[in-house]
Amino acid sequence: MARRKRRIRNYTRIGSRLAELGRQADLAKALGVSQQTVSKKLRGECAIMLADLERLAKKFSIPVTWFFEGYQRKHMPSDKVA
């Protein structure tokens, strides 16, 4: 049986958290999508997949829960996606 992709429902909250990580171009490169797709994700117009959040969490060394409940700013990485 094929594994179903898991979608995240709280798009606008997560979109605002994504915006804190860096520029749209950098996020697009990290996710392997277009800048337009990232823009839609930031505005809550496009589904955000759990795999996207896992990829970004690994890239920035933050827990996936940061996207949902917050993570203190002092724990945010100082460097943006290169």
- 3-class secondary-structure state, position 49: strand
Taking the model in full, what pTM does it have?
0.66
Residue type, 55: R
Residue 11 banded pLDDT, cuts 50, 70, 90:
low
Per-residue model confidence as pLDDT tens digits over 35-62: 999 998 888 788 888 899 999 999 888 8
Domains and CATH numbers, the chain: 7-72 (1.10.260.40)
Dihedral of CA atoms 22, 69, 64, 79 in degrees, nearest 10, equals 30
